């Protein structure tokens, strides 16, 4: 957003001169301020980190680079804004039954596929049928979810979803891209995987497929053209070109060489260089991820972790700002709870736990853990239980540095923490899933999930066999989560999640550390860009209809002040 500075010229004249001017001079016209108006035209080229696979929303779950392009090619029933609230896309309106089990949708009238054929509710039903058949291309839990939902086309523009039971986060599941039935029907899912359609896609989004860029037999780019018939309004930028690059460093060099105007992701290794580029504007947004420390609250070998005072002392002793500033190079935001800030469900009154090693020591002393007069310098209670445990962490240099810094902070409290590196898949699928751990540094990824729905991770029902890896067993917190999951009213859900967050902040079953951020670089020549918190990297295109390269300054309007009466 541009800020205009205005200057006010005040001329002090004698009373005689003022009188003469008022009587004899014609008032000077004042030019009214005008904002340049976007014009259609121009081409924008972006360096896309990753590689081309298939341009089909049924097949892009595991390839963010494909999802970025598909976001512009395909439409969904709904999109979500940066606060996690549903917004109309193909759907013109929707309604929910009082018991929360029936969802009726009405599509916008007159929507067309890029080939001119009408888009109808039958296309939505067809897409869901294919999601149910997804094989290895579609996450197994998503396939099972759609198998439990009854979907029916009521007319060309009306459709209905029937759920087996109330499920408030259901709208989250309606952001998948819709594919054309008339081009893909009659094919098995495996046949769709290998179809020519994926190389020459037809969607209904703001941009249509133009061509692939092929160099030496390899696809190195994709060219898209503006959809003049887009149902909201045509985009201003006439052409978008994606060029594929293996990493941010090569993409940044391409920007310097004038080959691209944007870079899909600026990673920390080139961040300083990117910031030094005078014509490159950087946009930073919170990623849909949370790094935190989980405690196994039911592990008998570490009974002290069941004491909330000990957990709070451990939290207070971590210099999280140091982790962000030094290890993460500033590329994260301190976290205060399990729900993302800035979203409709976040409770602004969530307290911040600041670094305070003196307070941490006091908390431990009050909890009965002191240093023994003789022996090892590790805090013990009157029963001789020492605060000693093992912290698991993903086996990467990044996580190792974080774990070592946390270990050092806790050592200042005379707490003995051993570190154990574990491959991430083993950490999650074995150690956490089987509850064979004491404490663990983990990253919770909630990509493509605008609805917070903390239920899977913190409800007591999920403590056995579910994703409540801490085995936190809090009856009241669970009641709030369970009610919020079946209540369609967002005001009531907001209240329930606020209450849950208050309890979480008091109990601290886990220690929220930080939310990583995402950096997106784009030439200052591109105007109208706005990037808010993300639920997926493709969300950076949420305001693509307002982006523009050309602008016309409107004809200036002269406003003639009325003469002042003598």
Q: In terms of C-beta density within 10 A (0-12 exposed, 13-18 middle, 19 or more buried), how is residue 498 classed?
A: middle
pLDDT at 469: 98
What fold characterizes domain 1-51+205-279+524-566? D-Maltodextrin-Binding Protein; domain 2 (3.40.190)
Q: How far apart are CA 222 and CA 196, in angstroms?
A: 15
In angstroms, the CA 289 to CA 394 distance is 15
pLDDT in tens, 74-124: 999 999 999 999 999 999 999 999 999 999 999 999 999 999 999 999 999
Dihedral sign computed on CA atoms, order 289, 290, 291, 295:
negative
Mean pLDDT of 530-543: 95
DSSP state, 326? Answer: I
Give start and end residues of each alpha helix (H) in 138-276.
140-147, 181-184, 189-193, 248-256, 271-275
Q: For residue 154, which of 88, 86, 115, 102 has the smallest C-alpha distance?
A: 102
Distance separating alpha carbons of residues 521 and 243, to the nearest angstrom: 14
Asked if 221 contacts 241 with a C-beta cutoff of 8 angstroms, the reply is yes
119-151 tens-digit pLDDT: 999 999 999 999 999 989 999 999 999 999 999
As a whole-number percent, the residues of the chain with pLDDT over 70 amount to 92
Angle value at C-alpha 95, between 89 and 101, nearest 5 degrees? 115
Beta carbons of 201 and 55 less than 8 angstroms apart: yes
Least confident of 23-27, 406-410, 418-422: 23-27
Question: How remote is the C-alpha of 346 from its chain's centroid?
Answer: 14
Question: What pLDDT, on a 0 to 100 scale, did the predictor assign at position 14?
Answer: 32
* Residue whose structure tokens are 């006010």: 8
Cα separations in angstroms, 464 against 2, 148, 239, 427, 441: 54, 23, 52, 17, 20
Residue 285 · residue 441 · CB < 8 Å: no
Provide the whole-model pTM: 0.89
Output DSSP code: residue 8.
-
Q: What is the mean pLDDT of residues 288-313?
A: 98
Buried b (16+ CB within 10 A) or exposed e, 347-367: beebeebeeebeebbebbeeb
Q: Which two tokens stand for residue 443?
A: 């990253």
pLDDT averaged over every residue in the chain? 92
Q: Which helix (H) or strand (E) holds 444?
A: strand 439-445
Query: What class does CATH assign to 289-517?
Result: alpha beta
Q: What local confidence, expressed as pLDDT, does residue 552 receive?
A: 87
**Token pair of 467, please?**
């994703």
Q: Where in the chain is the domain with CATH 3.40.190.10?
A: 1-51+205-279+524-566
Start and end residues for every CATH 3.90.76.10 domain found in the chain: 75-200
Chain centroid to CA 99? 30
- Quote the CA–CA distance of 73 and 57 in Å, as a whole number: 9
Contact 95, 107 (CB under 8 A): no
Strand, helix or coil for residue 235: coil
Which whole number is the average pLDDT over 32-53?
A: 89
The CATH architecture to which 75-200 belongs is: Alpha-Beta Complex (3.90)
Give the Cα separation of 493 and 489 in Å (integer).
6
Cα–Cα dist 312/367, whole Å? 11
Which residues touch 320 (CB under 8 Å, ≥6 apart)? 334, 355, 513, 514
Digit-coded pLDDT (tens) for 432-466 = 999 999 999 999 999 999 999 999 999 999 999 99
Could you tell me the CA-to-CA distances from 403 to 411, 416, 440 in Å, in that order? 12, 13, 9
Q: Where in the chain is the domain with CATH 3.10.105.10?
A: 289-517
Tokens of 438: 């004491």
When pLDDT is cut at 50, 70 and 90, the band that residue 396 belongs to is very high
Q: In the predicted model, is pLDDT for residue 559 greater than 70?
A: no
pLDDT at position 561: 53
Instruction: Give every CB contact of residue 279 below 8 A, 6+ residues apart in sequence.
Output: 523, 524, 525
End-to-end CA distance of the chain: 43
């Amino acid at each position: 957003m541009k800020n205009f500075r205005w200057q006010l010229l005040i001329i002090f004249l004698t009373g005689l001169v003022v009188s003469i001017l008022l009587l004899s001079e014609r008032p000077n016209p004042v030019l009214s301020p005008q904002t340049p108006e976007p014009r259609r035209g121009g081409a924008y080229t972006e360096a896309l980190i990753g590689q081309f696979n298939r341009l089909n929303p049924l097949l892009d779950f595991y390839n963010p680079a494909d999802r970025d392009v598909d976001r512009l090619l395909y439409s969904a029933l709904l999109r979500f804004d940066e606060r996690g609230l549903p917004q109309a896309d193909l759907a013109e309106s929707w309604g929910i039954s009082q018991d929360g089990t029936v969802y009726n949708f009405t599509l916008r009238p007159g929507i067309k596929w890029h080939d001119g054929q009408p888009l109808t509710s039958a296309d939505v039903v067809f897409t869901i049928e294919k999601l149910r058949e997804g094989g290895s291309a579609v996450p197994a839990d998503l396939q099972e979810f759609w198998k439990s939902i009854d979907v029916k086309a009521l007319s060309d523009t009306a459709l209905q979803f029937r759920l087996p039971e109330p499920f408030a986060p259901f709208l989250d599941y309606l952001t998948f891209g819709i594919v054309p039935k008339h081009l893909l029907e009659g094919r098995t899912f495996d046949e769709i995987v290998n179809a020519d359609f994926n190389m020459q896609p037809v969607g209904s989004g703001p941009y249509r497929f133009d061509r692939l860029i092929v160099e030496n037999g390899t696809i190195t780019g994709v060219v898209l053209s503006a959809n003049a018939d887009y149902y909201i309004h045509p985009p201003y930028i006439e052409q978008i070109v994606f060029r594929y690059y293996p990493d941010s460093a090569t993409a940044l060099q391409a920007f310097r060489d004038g080959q691209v105007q944007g870079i899909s992701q600026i990673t920390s290794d080139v961040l300083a260089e990117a910031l030094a580029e005078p014509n490159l504007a950087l946009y930073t947004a919170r990623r849909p991820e949370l790094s935190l420390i989980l405690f196994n609250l039911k592990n008998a070998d570490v009974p002290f972790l069941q004491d909330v005072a000990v957990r709070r002392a451990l939290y207070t002793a971590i210099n999280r700002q140091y982790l962000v500033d030094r290890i993460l190079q500033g590329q994260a935001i301190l976290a205060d709870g399990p729900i993302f800030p800035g979203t409709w469900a976040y409770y602004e009154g969530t307290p911040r736990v600041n670094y305070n090693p003196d307070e941490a020591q006091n908390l431990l002393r009050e909890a009965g853990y002191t240093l023994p007069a003789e022996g090892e310098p590790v805090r013990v209670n009157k029963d001789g239980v020492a605060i000693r445990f093992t912290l698991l962490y993903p086996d990467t240099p990044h996580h190792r540095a974080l774990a070592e810094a946390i270990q050092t902070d806790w050592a200042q409290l005379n707490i003995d923490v051993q570190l154990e590196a574990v491959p991430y898949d083993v950490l999650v699928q074995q150690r956490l899933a089987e509850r064979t751990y004491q404490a663990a540094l983990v990253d919770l990824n909630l990509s493509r999930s605008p609805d917070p729905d903390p239920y899977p991770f913190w409800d007591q029902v999920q403590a056995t066999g579910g994703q409540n890896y801490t085995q936190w067993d809090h009856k009241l917190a669970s009641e709030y989560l369970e009610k919020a999951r079946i209540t369609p009213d967002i005001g009531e859900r907001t209240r329930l999640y606020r209450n849950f967050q208050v309890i979480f902040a008091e109990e601290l079953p886990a220690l929220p550390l930080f939310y990583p951020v995402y950096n997106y670089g784009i030439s200052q020549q591109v105007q109208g860009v706005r990037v808010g918190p993300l639920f997926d990297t493709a969300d950076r295109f949420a305001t693509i209809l307002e982006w523009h390269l050309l602008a016309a300054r409107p004809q200036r309007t002269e406003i003639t002040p009325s003469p002042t009466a003598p």
